[in-house]
Amino acid sequence: MTTETAAPATAAVMRIDHLVKEFGGLVAVDDVSLEIPRHSIVSLIGPNGAGKTTLFNMLTGLYKPTAGRILLADRNITRARPDIITKLGVARTFQNIRLFGAMTAVENVIVGRHARMHAGIFGSVVRTPRVRREERQARERARELLAYVGLDEDSFDLLAAQLSYGDQRRVEIARALASEPVLLLLDEPTAGMNPQESANLTAFMRRMRDELNLTILLIEHDMKVVMDVSERVTVLDHGTKIAEGPPEEVRANPRVIEAYLGAQK
Amino acid sequence: MSKPRTDGQTVLESGWGEFRAQMKEWREAIDRTLPPWWSKGLAIALIAIGIVLPFAFSQNSGFMNATIIAVAYVVMSLGLNVVVGFAGLLDLGYVAFYALGAYSLGWFGSDFFFKTKVHVLVHGIAAQETGIHLNFILILIAAAVICALAGIVIGLPTLRLRGDYIAIVTLAFGEIIGVVAVNGTDIHLGGGMTLTAGNFGISAVDSPYFPVIGQFNLLNLRPWYWLIFAIMLIVLFVNLRLRDSRLGRAWIALREDEVAAVSMGIPSVRTKLSAYAMGAAFGGMSGAFLGTYFTTVNAGQFQFGFSIFILAMVIIGGLGSIWGAVAGGLLLGYINYYLIPDVLNSLPSKVGLNFQLVTIEIGIYGFLLVLVMILRPQGLIPERRRRLELTAEIAATDTELAEPTAFHATGETAP
């Protein structure tokens, strides 16, 4: 077992070493290395098809990398199952909202807490005092989290499918927070939002980071949000990392401009 | 529940508000017709009626016979509902668990293994005979355990599959068990004993014995009824408790969106296998009961059509709905064992047609299924969630037109 003292001075929450993902002949992610410092907000940007979501899917265990290594606080999670990775403290949202449509907002968030609950078959059938307490706490916690992300209390017991788009995004964040993550992965959290909403979310990301002691890695297309919120930006293009650094530096990088706007004649 | 809305005027100003008001109205209408304690009250009333029901009929009436079988079917449809309704795994081989449950009874409650002599807590004639004779409660537990294990074995190859492919694999497994049951006469276990008796059937199976009630016999159907009614109540209770538990939510989450579910920390393998095991165990218990009730365990009983019959109960009742599974099981059980053979069988001859209604019963089920799918696709007693989902479709189209909702973090304190 590795201990806190064994961690390097940088105290990265997650280290990605030479990660590769091939789908047949297509190399979706090609030798990407990345370090996510504790308590930071890191953005992952790049044109469509750059491999950002593929990278996310590997970090959360949905895809198994072809080569390379993913370390979560020095623990190798490269081939771990998604549920194990969630339990170890990585939570995510999805680019296209993936709530459980037939469940209420509260139930969605309680499911997010699955990894932190313990009730087994026997306990659930008998409903032991411990299970009862756990259920009650999960429900209370879910309502707290929904209030925290700013969902109207009237909507708590509506089915997820009945919620507005903006509310669904909120519930998704609350659901991810329910697993008590160390690292939160947000896949295009501002997609479909107007500038005002994006600005609000930007502020909220910082607040979550500070109040819940999170590290956030986000995929984002909205450059205003990226420049505003991130401490570091990593740019992917055709599966390879073409730039990395503070936002201002990355913005000025000619390779990044080329990837986004095409080569200058 | 929701608080009454006071700002009635402002609500109607926007489309969104209008929709909210409409939703609220519907919710209130649902609350009005069904008070909060309705399910508990209804349950207690139904249990009470269920217990005294046999006294309304003679000890061996045809209706009691139909009721016993219908309740046994309810147990099966509750089991299949866990797999298909909750976890969303389309299982077309459920007959396998009927077979294994019934064979558990045949193996452990008859003189079929005539070279052995094992007796555990049995009374009456069974205590003198050769073969394995266990107390019926023990057989019930054995059937549940054997079927749960078989459920896991059947579940394993389907784990990497989705939708229709799961149906094909489970269907094949159901057929395999059926064929093994027929050809089990050629599987020798030594000493002239075989695995099954094929189409001859294992007969002279033990009937249950309980203190006070004594040995069950087919001249008095009441004890049989109370026995299966008690089994049904236990299975129902377990179902209700599990549905609103961590495991039940995990099943439903997997059904709704597997990718999201595993990303929320739900172990997909363990959760799916627990659904298969649970559903199979219930099927096995019912199978063991039907084995002793029919007094024979015959390979011919385990046909593919039976899987579809149970699936039809679940679908007609309302996929994923516990009370729907109960209603569907009772409805089809009664139609199959009472309405068609006893009540309406001579109907065609009365209108001058030369056939008996039982000959077209499969057609009748098909017709009923089509009718339900057209008139009430959510089933007779839909799951609460699905009921809301139907109104949610209106919500989805409405919210697209509604005002944009600003993302603002309004929470005051960090939780």
* Domain locations along chain A: 1-11+18-89+181-265, 101-177
Q: Give the pLDDT of chain B (415 residues) as one tens digit per residue.
A: 344 444 444 444 456 666 667 766 776 777 677 767 777 887 788 899 999 999 999 988 899 999 999 999 999 999 999 999 999 999 999 999 999 999 999 999 998 888 888 888 888 777 888 889 999 999 999 999 999 999 999 999 988 888 789 999 999 999 999 999 999 988 888 888 889 988 888 988 889 988 888 888 888 999 999 999 999 999 999 999 999 999 999 999 999 999 999 999 999 999 999 999 999 999 999 999 999 999 999 998 999 989 999 999 999 999 999 999 999 999 999 999 998 888 888 888 888 888 888 888 888 888 888 988 888 888 888 887 655 555 545 444 444 433 333 343 333 344 4
Chain B residues close to A165, C-beta within 8 Å: 399, 405
Asked if B213 and B276 sit in the same domain, the reply is: yes
| B63 lies in some domain | no
| Structure tokens given for A78 | 């490269």
What is the chain A residue with the closest CA to B408?
A: A200
Q: Residue A117's pLDDT band (boundaries 50, 70, 90)?
A: very high
The answer as to whether B214 is a domain residue is yes
Give just the sign of the alpha carbon dihedral B212, B215, B217, B223.
Answer: positive
Give the nearest partner residue to B407 out of A91, A127, A170, using CB atoms.
A170
Residues of A in contact with B386 (CB under 8 A): 102
In this structure, are B153 and B242 located in the same domain?
yes
Shortest distance, CA A46 to any CA of chain B (angstroms)? 24
Q: pTM surpassing 0.80? A: yes
Question: Measured between CA atoms, how close is A164 to chain B, in angstroms?
Answer: 6
Q: Between chains, do A110 and B389 touch, taking CB under 8 Å as contact?
A: no
Are A175 and B414 a contacting pair at CB < 8 A?
A: no
pLDDT at residue A7 is higher than 80: no
A162–B238 CB contact, under 8 Å = no
Do both B310 and B277 map to the same domain? no
Find the closest chain A residue to B263 by CA distance. Answer: A82
H or E stretch including B10? helix B8-11
Q: Closest partner residue to A100 among B20, B257, B386, by Cβ?
A: B257
Same domain, B326 and B206: no
Instruction: Note whether B256 contacts A103, CB cutoff 8 Å.
Output: yes
Same domain, B268 and B362: no
pLDDT at B168: 93
Tell me if B124 is assigned to some domain: yes
Instruction: Examine the domain organization and report whether B292 and B344 are in the same domain.
Output: no
Query: Do B123 and B257 belong together in one domain?
Result: yes
Chain A residue with CA closest to B385: the answer is: A102
Is residue B229 included in any domain, yes or no? Answer: yes
Q: Token pair for residue B310?
A: 């149970």
Q: Which long-range contacts (CB under 8 A, 24 or more apart) does B356-365 make?
A: B361/B336, B362/B305, B364/B335, B364/B340, B365/B309, B365/B312, B365/B332, B365/B335
Q: What single string gives the DSSP state of each residue in B287-325? A: HHHHHHHTTEE-GGG--HHHHHHHHHHHHHH-TT-HHHH
Query: Number of CB pairs < 8 Å for A and B?
Result: 170
H/E element, A35: strand A26-37
Query: What six digits make up the tokens of A265?
Result: 């004649």
Q: Please report whether residue B43 resides in a domain.
A: no
Domain-terminating residue out of B286, B302, B318: B302
Query: Do A103 and B407 make contact, defined as CB atoms within 8 angstroms?
Result: no
Domain of residue B236: give its range: 72-302
Return the number of other C-beta atoms located less than 10 Å from residue A179's C-beta: 23
Question: CA angle, B355 as apex, B350 and B357 as ends, to 5°?
Answer: 80
Question: In Å, what is the CA distance from A175 to each residue of A114, A179, A238?
Answer: 10, 7, 31
Listed residues B285, B302, B319: the one ending a domain: B302
First vs last C-alpha separation in chain A: 55
What is the fold of A1-11+18-89+181-265? Rossmann fold (3.40.50)
CB neighbour list of residue A210: distance below 8 Å, 6 or more residues apart: none
Q: What is the average pLDDT across A100-125? A: 93
A92: closest CA among A227, A216, A232, A207?
Answer: A216
Give me A204's structure tokens.
């909220």
All residues of chain A having their beta carbon less than 8 Å from the beta carbon of residue B274 are: 121
Of the three residues B237, B267, B302, the one that is the final residue of a domain is B302
Q: Which of A61, A147, A154 shows the shortest C-beta gap to B411?
A: A147
Least confident segment among A90-99, A202-211, B212-221, B402-411: B402-411
Q: Roughly what angle, to the nearest 10 degrees, separates helices B62-80 and B304-317?
A: 80
> Are B246 and B174 members of one domain?
yes
B contacts of A53 (beta carbons < 8 Å): none
Look at strands B202-203 and B209-210 and give their pairing. unpaired
Residues B310 and B336 in one domain: yes
Answer yes or no: is B399 within a domain. Answer: no
Neighbouring C-beta atoms of residue B234, cutoff 10 Å:
15
- The answer to whether position B41 is within a domain reads no
Pairwise CB contact (< 8 Å): B241 & A124: yes
Helix pair angle (B384-401, B15-33), 10° resolution: 170
Q: Does any CB of chain B come closer than 8 Å to the CB of residue A62?
A: yes
Looking at the structure, do residues B344 and B226 belong to the same domain, yes or no? no
Residue A161 is nearest to which of B16, B259, B396, comparing CB atoms?
A: B396
Domain count, chain B: 2
In a domain, B54, yes or no: no
* Mutant choice from B2, B243, B246, B276 vs A, greatest count of A C-beta within 10 A: B246
Does any CB of chain B come closer than 8 Å to the CB of residue A30? no
Query: Three-class SS of residue B115?
Result: coil
Whether residues B76 and B180 share a domain: the answer is yes
A191-214 mean pLDDT: 92
| Model pLDDT, residue B124 | 77
Same domain, residue pair B173 and B281? yes
- Name the least confident of A40-44, A108-112, A254-258, B28-32: B28-32
